[in-house]
Amino acid sequence: MKKLIFIFVLSVNILSAQEILRIDNSISSISYSGTHFLHNWDATNDNITGLIELNDNQILKIGVIAKVKDFKSGNSSLDSNSYRVLDALRISNIIFRSTEIIDSINVINVSGTISFHGIEKDLNVLLDKSTENNNISLKGKFIINLSDFNVERPSLLLQKINNEIEIQINLIFK
């Protein structure tokens, strides 16, 4: 959390008309889904931290941090293997920082940098945006390739898991 606040403090130019909202992690989540020819699986993290910076209800910046160890599949063996493969003890955080946002009424186009498994990559995502009771909701999904982040894909019966992982986000900012 301290890293995220530090990033925003350094990058904020004028705070006079701007507002900062925080992720409500009691109703927000990030999930991923993976596949193997024998089965599919998913895991969810509902312990996310993050901020958005607004100016006149237009999103200017987004920053999100999710800990690898907080993704839970409901299967402790699968979770343990995921933490080992992702080196969660050494590289514990997944961090996203926006670099450019095009904010329309119901959709935003977010460009930024994702840091995962010690590798930083550019990412561009379209998200559905809604506003209700001064809360901003961002929902969407996108695909990452494990090979882009030097993740060694585990095998089961001599067949590796698929390279593509679908990420689903449901973030509510208050």
Domains and CATH numbers, the chain: 2-173 (2.40.128.110)
What is the chain's pLDDT, residue by residue, as a tens digit (174 residues)? 555 554 555 455 444 568 999 999 999 999 999 988 888 989 999 999 999 999 988 999 999 999 999 999 999 988 998 888 889 889 999 999 999 999 988 999 999 999 999 999 999 999 999 999 889 999 999 999 999 999 988 777 878 889 999 999 999 999
DSSP-derived letter for residue 74 is S
Q: Answer positive or negative: Cα dihedral of 36, 165, 22, 125.
A: negative
Whole-angstrom distance, CA of residue 112 vs CA of residue 59: 14
Q: Give 48's contacts (C-beta < 8 A, 6+ positions apart).
A: 23, 25, 28, 29, 30, 64, 65, 66, 70, 171
The predicted model scores a pTM of 0.86
Spell out the alpha helix ranges (H) of the chain.
2-11, 76-85
Whole-angstrom distance, CA of residue 136 vs CA of residue 67: 22
DSSP-derived letter for residue 90 is T
